[in-house]
Amino acid sequence: MSLTANIRYAPRSLAMTRVAAAGALLLFAVLVLSEAARAFGYTDSTPRVVRATFVLFTILAAGAAIIEYYMAATCELQRLNAELERRIAEKSEEIKSTYARVEEAKREWALVSERQRILADMHDGVGASLVGLLRHVQSGSADRASIERRVQEVLQEMRIAIDALQPRDGDLAAVLGALRYRLDDIIRSSGVRLMWEVEELPEVGDLKPSTVFALQRILLEAITNALKHSGAQLLRLSARACNGEIEVRIEDDGRGFDTSRHAAGLGLANMRARAQRIGARFRIQSHPGKGTTVKLSLPRAPAGGAAREA
């Protein structure tokens, strides 16, 4: 029975209880008077109908009292349930509000962490380039061409850092395309022919700005090494999905080198460290006179889309 129905029937139950109780009291008084009259010899017996009616009204009064008590208890229980539901709803809203604030704080902290990582990388890249440029100018032996070249390198670092901050949503092909755009003039001026073989790629998991920046730095280092040190005529950049990963390769037909003797040179240690930091596998294959191949393998996004961080 609903709370509204209980409220509707409660006055009727109360009226029944009062009528039954009043009837029982009236008949009790009649019985008392009858017994007194019989005791004083005014009558021989108490009428049976009075006794029977008294019993009936007493039962009715007791039953009505029980019903009234039940109705009152039910109404109070439903009132308490309604109050409990209201408080639960209020607490639920408070919990939702608190959870939303916690999530917002986590997103803000993630953004701050990303900015700090980007700034640290920019310090290592742009900062080091600026320091090198300053020392080159202070040496007194700098000419205009060398200064322009170094300024272009610094600008290149800054542009790559800015590209890393753009939202990618797991799209590695867009990252590679932006890097190709930034390096196009340098590759053309070097006289090296570029072969671009990027297939349609699935989403990459956890492609955050710091991850994009690390990828760009690894690929930039590999391409720069090929242009400056290998003497290559052909540079091939390929990317494809295989075995649950996305593999990016940079191959050249240059002079190659002995990886066991140059393991710490050509920025290889930094490239390995950056790859390890973003959860990628870095491999390099090279032999004197047989060119160099740099392989970078990244995990694909899990089913349902890339892991995105606000």
Domain extents in the chain: 3-99, 169-310
Chain segment 276-301, per-residue pLDDT in tens: 888 899 999 988 888 999 999 988 76
Q: What is the mean pLDDT of residues 40-53?
A: 66
Supply the pLDDT for residue 1: 46
What's the count of helices (H) and strands (E) in the chain, helices before strands? 7, 5
CA dihedral 251, 247, 164, 194 (to 10 degrees): 30
Q: Which CATH class is domain 169-310?
A: alpha beta
Tens-digit pLDDT profile for residues 118-154: 666 666 666 667 777 777 777 777 777 778 777 777 7
What burial letters (b/e) apply to 106-131, b meaning 16+ CB within 10 Å?
eeeeeeeebeebbeebbeebbeebbe
Determine the average pLDDT of the residues in 50-72.
74
| Per-residue pLDDT at 167 exceeds 70 | no
Residue from 268, 205, 199 nearest 238 by CA: 199
Q: What is the pLDDT of residues 248-260, one digit of tens each?
A: 999 999 888 887 7
Q: Is 180 exposed, middle or buried (0-12, 13-18, 19+ CB in 10 A)?
A: middle
